[in-house]
Amino acid sequence: MVKVSVMYPNSAGVKFDMTYYLDRHLPMVRDLLGAALKGMSAEQGLAGGQPGAPAPYVAAVHMTFDSVDAFQAAFGPHTDVILADIPNYTNSQPTIQIGQVKL
Amino acid sequence: MVKVSVMYPNSAGVKFDMTYYLDRHLPMVRDLLGAALKGMSAEQGLAGGQPGAPAPYVAAVHMTFDSVDAFQAAFGPHTDVILADIPNYTNSQPTIQIGQVKL
């Protein structure tokens, strides 16, 4: 199993429309990825690790797939549509992490 | 529900002992946090979002708790012990994200 994390860096000028993200963007992504998507969780950044520190990421989504190949096969054909929607909810450029689930 | 993500930045000189992390560190954390810890998943970084890009994080763990208060109450008394174990498996200084689970 692999996890694909899409995390939106926080900064002073960041804008993020959580309602659009949760109600429009993520449901669209889920529909486009279809059965290859095994799990999806999303969160809104609250804080960092030090007292009073801001969250490093304003929001993040974590998606699981059977393999990197399964992710790429599902995501590839829809990359343009998904990326084109990002400016509709944020001016943050996401950091993407692909990891092998170990636990 | 809140998610606490502890992510270890990748870099040229980074060392990370995944065996120690999975077999010793995370089980110790789980034991110390007790019933307040509602879920734990961990992954090893494989890649970034661009073709050929390295993973932004060499490893990450995501832990869920009922609330920020529940996390702090469970983690606080064991902070020193948990942090003191980090040099046993890595020279990377973790990035910590606390987020409100929305999905």
CA B82 to chain CA mean position, Å = 11
- Band of the pLDDT at A14, cuts 50, 70, 90? very high
- Band of the pLDDT at B51, cuts 50, 70, 90? confident
pLDDT at A23: 98
Q: What's this model's pTM, rounded to 2 decimal places?
A: 0.97
pLDDT tens for each residue of B54-93: 999 999 999 999 999 999 999 999 999 999 999 999 999 9
Residues of B in contact with A95 (CB under 8 A): 48-49, 56
B3 near A CB under 8 A: yes
Q: Does the pLDDT of residue A8 top 90, yes or no?
A: yes
Q: Does the pLDDT of residue A51 top 90, yes or no?
A: no
B26 near A CB under 8 A: yes
Residues of B in contact with A48 (CB under 8 A): 95-98
Q: What percent of chain A has pLDDT over 90?
A: 98
Q: Does the pLDDT of residue B50 top 90, yes or no?
A: no
Distance from CA of A26 to the nearest CA of B (A): 10
d(CA B7, CA B70): 21
Distance (Å) of CA A91 to CA A7, A9, A14, A97, B56: 13, 10, 6, 19, 20
